Each structure stands twice: as structure tokens, then as C-alpha cells.
Chain A
């Protein structure tokens, strides 16, 4: 049975690329591009993994993650966070909020595929 990944990302081209890669890797890919409604989208979709952008319109990735971890059903949901800001303080914030993996853009395709596989297997 295919694993379900939800991409929360606002850059259309990055969504396009990730969808292509993950689909080819055997994932069932869902997308959502608005921060404000991301938490309910995740609750509805109940994915096996969330790939979360750091900067989203409406609500930041950190806020979304914090809210998510507060929900009992989603406290253990694997989350891969992607950021383009590249500041070390952001990584600290994300880790404190309970991120499973933190990656800075741009990344290699192999890198991101390895990361999602690791997260779901573990």
C-alpha cells in the first residue's frame, strides 16, 4: 500500500518538482499551499508524512508544527521541514517545535528522497 505524503508548500514550481519525484518513488502525494488552513488540511488528509515549508502565507511552518504537535493524534507524525531562509536560529526553533527532519533549500533530489524514506520507515 502506498504511503501518503502531504506537501504544504506555496511555490508552484517546487510543488511540481516534489510531486514528480515522490510520485515516481511510489508515494501518494497531496498538496496544500495555504498556511492558515494547513492544520485542518493535515487533520483531514491524515498523511503518513508531512513535508512542510517554513515560510507560508497566512501562518508560518513553525506555528503549524506547534499546533500539530499539540494534537494527540499528530504528536508522532513525521514532519520534514524545508526552509529557504538558511538561518541557524530557524533550525533551533523548528527542533524545539518538534520537527523530525530539517533541510535547507536548495537540496539534491536524492537527499530529499532519502530523508522521506528514513522518516516513514522509522
Chain B
């Protein structure tokens, strides 16, 4: 009989050995000789932390109690590894490209880096894993109790399970703190821990195989007799519960992916994606070996040991009962290894989550001084990690104490599995479905977890411990369909199946429905695309292998794109990091990837990749790369053609502005000319009036004839002045459109009669006016006074400017369906062609000095006819001039 002291001593030596291995591994890693640390074998062995003390001890107990059902906990992970290795590969790729540190980090990062999700997942993981840690405490304590002495009549022995559990918990805590938090790695990877758990994996496999071989060949006497024993035992004949079988397979598969410690070794500690492929067959082989002797040990244990012996301990108690103390100690060490490796990795993973997602955000917001990653903060993180480890193990111990340390190991393990399996919908949905949203994940997780707590965790403390017994019989507050083991009144389901079924079903449904109903924020959308399409985005697939690139060439290119100083800084930093003295680093794949990232910020990802490809001479510019470059170029072309269009538009606008400016300048010149003209027209008669009035006032001895002559000059000039002012005002009113037109209907003949009489009254009577073709019944509807004014002006002009020996003006009327034309034909000198274009402009006179007109008459005529909707034109003639006034039949008054 091994004494307890010996056992504790052996355990301590074993732990010291593990320390030495871990320390050596880390030393090697620091020196850069870590190649052997990160091999597919080590990766596969590190996955064996799936096989905890539960598997080591509990599988045999499970088999002894429930027959072949124990296989499910091996089957689930094997199916995942063999059938779903591509899911693992995707997880590993995402984990590496996004620098994910934990399950909580993964889910939070996928859903828009949500801190809420990170905290919730962290808390769920802590709660979910707590029973599991309790399980390890329980199994180690139970194993110790076997060595401490035979059970007495009351089933108790010399060892107090609570105090033993406390010491085991304390030991594990110290062990984990020392192992996992000796220093802080930026990438949350632990070379020492990984190698230590790989060693432990070997120890537990060897121990279990040794016990199995001893049982088959040492006790049963070979394979044949062993098979007979198995056939004879009741174990092989137990019916399988199909629903439990399916549910447990799914559950263990889900847990394998979701357990924080599994995520830690699968994803975070993964060094090379290719290791996943090897592990996909190697790990199932390991599991097969682990499960190989479970049934024989269970059968032999049931045969040999007295009824009532705890089947969970057969692995230790069978060799012990056969006097094989050494084998029993080895077996104990195997179980101890299983427990310690699980606790170390699980608490490391959880403490990373707790410190990263709970403690540090709170600490940083409290400090709020923008604390940088100084040594100060590093110490805070380390302290947070250590305290988290202690807290998590303390929680496990509390659960162990509260649950009485009595439940079967497998049952406790399944509770944990169901808890962490709640992460599965959010995790798988997140990496395969871009439509998954933060709110969907949050709702699904919370509901699934709530169901798990209510239907699985709380009942595990025993009826009436937390939930009153009435809950199980009639439901909470009498609500029958909410009984923890029979939701919606569906009785008769196995409690584990029940909890798994409802929690995962509701979790998944709510996750999908809420995701469909909500819209992701931009960051979620972005992250979603990066996760779902990780193989298109991440750098590793097209990483750099060639190292033939000349650093100088890269430098020249980088300077062109990034600018000289920035490029030099980048290269210098990289060189320093590589431990080189110059300013040119080695073109390592890592550096090339970094350079490509920097360049892509300026020129786009595809172009940057193509450029670096060209430089390193690696012929890895794929068709896809080229197409992506083409896309970018097309975008640039489109952009530049947009720019061209813009610039054309701008120059058009500029042209329009120039035109407008010219017009304004012209208008300004015209205005000056106009003002000069008006001034001239007004000042000239005033000059005569002033001069003659002064002469008449001052000069002495003026004859009566002279006085009369000068007075009449003053009179004429005054009239001229008045008429000028009248014309100017009239023209101004007409031009501004402020004229009021009085439409009336009258005979055209009457208007002409009146005009001729008025004009001739002021003329000298030399002009002979004749009229022809005037239809007496032609009626016009227009402003008759204004029309008459046009006629008067034309007749007056003929009087003034017709220089013929016998001045003659012939007025004729031509009518058609649409309009009337009144023609004024004189026999004067034809207006020269050069002047014709101007005669209707203001102050335009064919020749200066002929007559007293200011040159406003025809301008006024043109304005009036425009208002009346008609027209006035000058028709060139071989002899004489013809002015045609056109009047619309149906008068449209254009005036206001």
C-alpha cells in the first residue's frame, strides 16, 4: 500500500519534471530554436487536453454504468477532426489573420468587435467551465482517497474529501500561476505550457495503455479470454438510448470546438495550418488508443472488485487490488496529468478572457488617462491574470463543495459541455454566414445560456438545493410547461438530452431570426466579410516564400509610393527588429507581407501585391491578382474620366462666365455711350438757349429783327428739348415694359388720317403724302394711339430727311389672313447699307447735322411695334426707302 506521502512526493517530482521541460522549451523558443516545439506531433498531443481526468477515470466508470455510451465522447471530436477539419482550418486561419486570443475574442471580433459580447461570452465560459474544473478536483481527490486506505463501513476513509479537494485546488492554482503567467506574450502563446501538456499526453496514454495491457494479459489471460469475459458481462447487452447517443455525440463535437481550452490549443497555439491536416487523423488515433481498454478495465473491475466500488476509480483500484502499486502510481500520475493539463490550459484561456475583456477595459476606463502599454500596465495584466486563475479555480472548488462531490464524473462533464456548446451557433454562423449580426448572436447566446442554467446547471446541485423541488414537479410558480426537465410539457426526455436539445434549438432559432431582422453595423459587415471570406482576404495563402528580392529595389519602389522619409523609417525599423545594423532589412516573408500592407494603403491591395511579386521575382502574380489590378485600374480610369468631365464642365462654366463678363463690359460701354449721347442731346439746345438769352439780356443795340430771330431760336430749341425729354421718357417706359396699352378696335384708315394730319401740322408742307389701296373697312384691334405714334414718326422722318426735289411719301395697306402691312415708301436718298443695321438703335442718325432729331424716333417705333406684337422693318430699295409696319390681325398685347 503506497502511502499518501509517497504519492504526494511522486506528484511533486513529476510536477518539477514538467517545470523543467516547460522551462527548457521556453529557453529554446527565446533562442529561436523552437522548430521541434511546433511540430504536428506536439500539436496533436496538445489536443489531448480534451481527455481530462473525466476521460481518464470517468470513461471506465461511464462504461461500467452505461455500456457503450461512453464512446460518444470520443466519437464527437473524432468526427469533427475527420469530417470537419476544414471548419478547423477556417477557424485557425481566422484566428491567425485576426490575431484572435480566445473564443470570446473570436465572437466579439466577428460581430463588430463588440465588448458586450466579449464580456458575456467570458462570463458564460467561466460559469460553463466551473463544473469541469470541479470535476478535475473531484477525480484527483477520489484517486488520492483510494491510496489513503480501504473504505470503511460508512464508505468514508481516512481522507477528508473537502480538505483534500482544497489542497488539490490550491496546488493546481499555484501550478497554473507559475506555469502560465511567468511572462506575458503578446500573442498569448505559451511554448512551455504546450510542450508540458504534450508530455502529459504521453504520460496519460502510456498509463492507460499499461493498465489496459495488465488487465487483458495480466488478469484476464489474453485477448480470447477477455472477449469471453466481456460477452459474459451485462455491459455488452445494455440497450443503447438512441436519443442520448445522438445528443451526446453532437454535444461532445460542439464542446470540442467551443471549449475555451480547446480553442486555446486548436487555434491560438497553432503554429501552422498544415498541422491541422495531420492532427485530423492523428488525434482520432490517439482517442482510439485512449478508448481501447476502457471496456476491458470496466468488465474486469466489475468482476474483481466488491459490489459498490466506485467504477470511476477502476483504473487505479484494479491494479492496486492486484498488488501492482507501481502500476497504480503510474495510473494515478496519468489521471493527475489529465487533471493538471486541463486545469492549466482551461484557466489560462479563461484568465486571458477575463483579463482582456473584463478587467482591462474596466482598469483602462478607470485610469482613462490613455494609459499606454507601459511596464506598469503589463504588471496590471499579469496581476489580473493571476487573480483570474485563482478566482476560476476557487469557483471550481466552491462548485465541488456545493455539489457534494458525489455526482458521477460523466454527468458533471456533460453539464459543462452543454454550457459551452451554446457558443456554437454564434461561432459557426459567424464564420459561414455573412448575415449573422451582433444582436442575433447576443440574443441566441443569452437565451441558450439561460435555458442551460435553468435546465442543467441549477438542477445539478440537487433538487431543493438551489431550485425548490416543486419546480420539478409542477413547474416554477405552478407554470407547468416550465419544469426544468420537461419544457412545454414534453415529459420523459433524458435530462441531459432535454437541456441540450432545447437550449441549442432555441439558441440557434433566435440567433437566425434576430440576425435576419436586424441590420449589421458597418464594422460588423466588414468583419463578417473578413471572417466568412477569410481565405480570399488573409495573407498566408499568398504569402511570400521567395527571398530573392533585392532590398534596394524594394526600397526604391517603396520610396516612390510612400515617400522617402516614411519608406526609410519603415525599412530602418524592420532592419532593427531583425537585429541588423544597416538600414536595409532582409527580405523575409514577414517583412514582405508588412511592406505589402503598407503599400496597399496607398495603391490598393491588389496593386501592392502585384508590385511586390514583380520585385521578388516570385512568379506568383496569379490571374486573380491581375484581374484585381485591372479592377483597380478601371476604377482609377473611371475616376479620371469623371475628373475630365468635371474639368470640361469647369471650362464650359468659365467660358460662360467670360461671355457674361464681356456682355457686361459691352453693356457698360453702351451705357457710357448712351449717357454721353443724352448729355450731348440735352446740352446742345441748352447752349443755344443760354447763349441767345444772354445776348438778348446783355447786348446793346439789337435790332427788332435780330431780337425776333434770337427769340425764335430759343423757342425752337426749348421745344426740341421738351420733345427730347418726352421721347426719352417714352422710350424708357417702353423698354422697361411698364407701358400700359389700351386695346381698342377701330378703322385703320382713321388712324392713318389722324397721323397724316398731325405730322403735316408740324412740317413745312413740302412733303406730298399719297395713300393707296386703303381698304376703308379694315379694322384693327390694338392700342390705336401707339400705332398712330408709329405712323406719325415715320411721316415726320420723311418730312425731315427726304431730300428729293419733290419729296413724296406713298402709304399703302396690304392685308392677308394673318396680318396687316402698312408700307411707307419715300423717294429720298436710300439709307446706306452700313447705316441700315443701326437705324432702329437709340441716337442713331444717318448723318450728323441733318435736322434736329435726336435719333430716338425709329427706336421708339421699334419698341412700340414689339409691344403691339407686330414689327417694323426697313426694306432696301434702288431708289428711296420703304418702311413696313406689320400689325397682327388678332392682337396679342405684350404690354403689362
Question: Residues on A close to B: CB < 8 A?
Answer: 10-11, 13-14, 16-18, 20-21, 24, 33, 55-58, 84-87, 90, 104-109
Q: Select which of A33, A56, A86, A106 is within 8 A of B691 by beta carbon.
A: A106
CB distance B848 to A86 under 8 Å?
no
20 contacts between A and B (CB under 8 A): A10-B849, A11-B688, A13-B717, A14-B684, A14-B691, A17-B687, A20-B695, A20-B699, A21-B691, A21-B695, A24-B699, A57-B848, A57-B849, A84-B687, A85-B680, A86-B679, A86-B683, A90-B676, A109-B691, A109-B698
Contacts of B717 in A (CB 8 A): 13
B152 within 8 A of A: no
A85 to B682, CA, bound (A): 9
Residues on A with beta carbons closer than 8 Å to the beta carbon of B848? 10, 55-58
Name the one of B689, B698, B849 contacting A33, with C-beta atoms under 8 angstroms: B849
Q: Which of B676, B679, B683, B691 contacts A17 (CB 8 A)?
A: B691
Given A13-B713, A84-B680, 16 more A-B residue pairs with CB atoms under 8 Å apart are: A17-B695, A33-B849, A58-B848, A84-B679, A84-B682, A84-B683, A84-B687, A85-B676, A86-B679, A87-B675, A104-B683, A105-B683, A105-B684, A108-B690, A109-B694, A109-B698
Query: What is the CA–CA distance of A90 and B677 in the complex, to the nearest angstrom?
Result: 13
A86 contacts across to B, CB distance below 8 A: 676, 679, 683
Q: Is B694's CB under 8 angstroms from A55's CB?
A: no
Q: Is B847 an interface residue (CB 8 A)?
A: yes
Instruction: State whether B680 touches A55 (Cβ < 8 A).
Output: yes
Return chain A residues, CB-CB under 8 Å to B739. Answer: none
Q: Which 3 A-B pairs have the closest CB atoms?
A: A57-B848, A17-B691, A84-B683
Report the number of A-B residue pairs with Cβ-Cβ less than 8 Å. Answer: 75
Task: Report the nearest A residue to B675, measured CB to CB.
Answer: A87
Q: Is B692 an interface residue (CB 8 A)?
A: yes
Return the chain B residue nearest A10 by Cβ: B849
Min distance, Cβ A24 to any Cβ of chain B, angstroms: 7
- How long is the Cα–Cα vector from A56 to B680 in the complex, in angstroms? 12
Interface residues of B in 667-723 (CB under 8 A from A): 672, 675-676, 679-692, 694-695, 698-699, 713, 716-717
In the bound complex, how far is the Cα of B870 from the Cα of A70, in angstroms?
A: 53
Report the separation of the CA atoms of residues A69 and B570 in the bound assembly, to the nearest whole angstrom.
79
Contact B698 A106 (CB under 8 A): no
Complex alpha-carbon distance, A86 and B835, angstroms: 26
Most buried by A among B672, B688, B695, B847: B688
Please indicate the chain A residues that have their CB under 8 angstroms from the CB of B694 in the complex. 108-109
Tell me, in angstroms, the Cα distance from A17 to B717 when the chains sit together: 13
Q: Which residues of chain A come closer than 8 Å to B679, judged between CB atoms?
A: 84-87
Quick one: closest B residue to A35, CB to CB?
Answer: B848
In the complex, which residues of chain B have a beta carbon less than 8 angstroms from the beta carbon of A10?
Answer: 848-849
Q: Which residues of chain A come closer than 8 Å to B690, judged between CB atoms?
A: 106-108
- B680's nearest neighbour on chain A, judged by CB, is A84
Cβ-neighbour of A13 out of B676, B681, B688, B699 (below 8 A): B688
* Chain A residue contacts of B691, Cβ below 8 A: 14, 17-18, 21, 106, 109
Q: What is the CA–CA distance of A11 and B687 in the complex, to the nearest angstrom?
A: 10
CB < 8 Å: which of A56, A87, A105 contacts B686? A105
A108 to B693, CA, bound (A): 10
Nearest CB in chain B: distance from A115 CB, A: 14
Chain B residues, CB < 8 A from A24: 699
Contacting pair B676 A16 (CB below 8 A): no
| Bound complex: CA A14 to CA B681 (Å) | 13
What residue in chain A is nearest B849 (Cβ atoms)?
A10
Whether B684 contacts A87 by the Cβ 8 Å rule is no
Docked complex Cα distance between A24 and B680 (Å): 28
For A33, the chain B residues whose CB sits under 8 A away are: 849
Docked complex Cα distance between A20 and B701 (Å): 13
> Which residues in A have their C-beta under 8 angstroms from that of B687?
11, 14, 17, 84, 105-107
Please, which residues of chain A bring their CB within 8 A of the CB of B682?
Answer: 84
**A109-B672 contact, Cβ under 8 Å, with A33-B849, A55-B680:** no
Task: Please indicate the chain A residues that have their CB under 8 angstroms from the CB of B698 in the complex.
Answer: 109
| Interface hub of B687, B689, B699 (most chain A Cβ within 10 A) | B687
CB distance from B353 to the nearest CB of A (A): 89
Name the residue on B nearest A33 (C-beta): B849
Expressed in whole angstroms, the Cα–Cα distance for A24 and B690 within the complex equals 17
| Alpha-carbon gap, A102 to B694, bound state (A) | 21
Contact bitstring B829-848, A, C-beta under 8 A = 1, else 0: 00000000000000000011
Distance between B701 CB and nearest chain A CB, rounded to angstroms = 10
The residue on A at minimum CB distance from B847 is A57
Chain A: CB-nearest residue to B699: A24
Give the most central of A17, A21, A108: most B CB within 10 Å: A17
When distances are taken between beta carbons in the complex, the residues of chain A under 8 Å from B849 are: 10-11, 33, 57
Among B690, B691, B716, chain A packs the most CB atoms within 10 A around the CB of B691
- A34: shortest Cβ distance to chain B, in Å? 8
Q: How far is the CA of A71 from the CA of B789 in the complex (A)?
A: 51
Residue ID in chain B nearest A87 by CB atoms: B676
CB distance from A42 to the nearest CB of B (A): 19
A61 to chain B, nearest CB (A): 12
Is A84's CB under 8 angstroms from B672's CB?
A: no
B200-211 interface code vs A (CB 8 A; 1 in, 0 out): 000000000000
Closest to A20 in B: B695
CB-CB under 8 A from B675, the residues of chain A are 87
- A116 CB, nearest partner CB in chain B, Å: 14
Q: Does A106 contact B680, Cβ atoms closer than 8 Å?
A: no
Instruction: Report the minimal beta-carbon distance from B721 to chain A, rounded to whole angstroms.
Output: 11
Closest to B700 in A: A24
Question: Once bound together, how far apart are the Cα atoms of A105 and B682, in whole Å?
Answer: 10
Q: Which one of B672, B699, B713 contacts A16 once the chains associate, using CB atoms below 8 Å?
A: B713
Q: Give the distance to chain B from A52, nearest Cβ to Cβ, in Å.
A: 15
Q: How far is the CA of A60 from the CA of B193 in the complex (A)?
A: 110
The distance from the CB of B198 to the nearest CB of chain A, in whole angstroms, is: 103
Give, as a whole number of angstroms, the nearest-CB distance from A32 to chain B.
12
Known A-B contacts A10-B849, A56-B848, A85-B679; the reply to A106 vs B692 at CB < 8 A is no
Closest to B694 in A: A109
Q: Write the nearest CB–CB distance from B673 to chain A, whole angstroms.
A: 10
List A contacts of B692 (CB < 8 A). 13, 17
A105 to B694, CA, bound (A): 14
Given contacts A13-B713, A13-B717, A33-B849, contact A106 B686 (CB under 8 A): yes
CA of A13 to CA of B683 in the docked complex: distance in angstroms? 13
Complex CA distance for A18 and B848, rounded to whole angstroms: 20
Q: Shortest distance in angstroms between B253's beta carbon and chain A's nearest beta carbon?
A: 100
| B672 & A106 in contact (Cβ 8 Å cutoff) | no
Nearest chain A CB to B93's CB is how many angstroms away?
Answer: 84
- List CB contacts (< 8 Å) of B847-865 with chain A: 847-849
Output the nearest chain B residue to A18 by Cβ-Cβ distance: B691
Q: How distant is the Cα of A21 from the Cα of B692 in the complex, in angstroms? A: 10
Distance of A119 Cα from B35 Cα, bound (Å): 116
- Cα–Cα, bound, A33→B847 (Å): 13
B717 — nearest CB in chain A belongs to which residue? A13
Give chain B nearest CB distance to A12 CB in angstroms: 8
In the complex, the chain B residue whose C-beta lies closest to that of A82 is: B687
Residues in B whose Cβ lies below 8 Å from that of A21: 691, 695
**In the assembled complex, how far is the CB of residue B44 from the closest CB belonging to chain A, in whole angstroms?**
102
Is the Cβ of B684 less than 8 Å from the Cβ of A109?
Answer: no
User: Given A10-B848, A16-B713, A108-B694, are A87 and B672 neighbors across the interface (CB < 8 Å)?
Assistant: yes
Which B residues between 537 and 577 are near A, CB-CB below 8 angstroms?
none
Instruction: Return chain A residues, CB-CB under 8 Å to B685.
Output: 13
Tell me the nearest residue of chain A to B676, going by C-beta.
A85
Q: A107: shortest Cβ distance to chain B, in Å?
A: 7
Cα separation A39 to B683 with both chains bound (whole Å): 25
- For B848, give the chain A residue with the smallest CB separation: A57
Contacts of A11 in B (CB 8 A): 684, 687-688, 849
Most chain B beta carbons < 10 A, residue from A18, A24, A55, A105 = A105
- Measured CB to CB, the closest approach of chain B to A104, in angstroms, equals 8
Q: Report Cα–Cα, A18/B688, bound state, in Å.
A: 9
Query: Chain A residue with minimal CB distance to B720?
Result: A13
Residues of chain B within 8 A of A17, CB atoms compared: 687-688, 691-692, 695
Q: Closest Cβ of chain A: how far from B831's Cβ, in Å?
A: 16
With a CB–CB cut-off of 8 A, which chain B residues contact A20? 695, 699
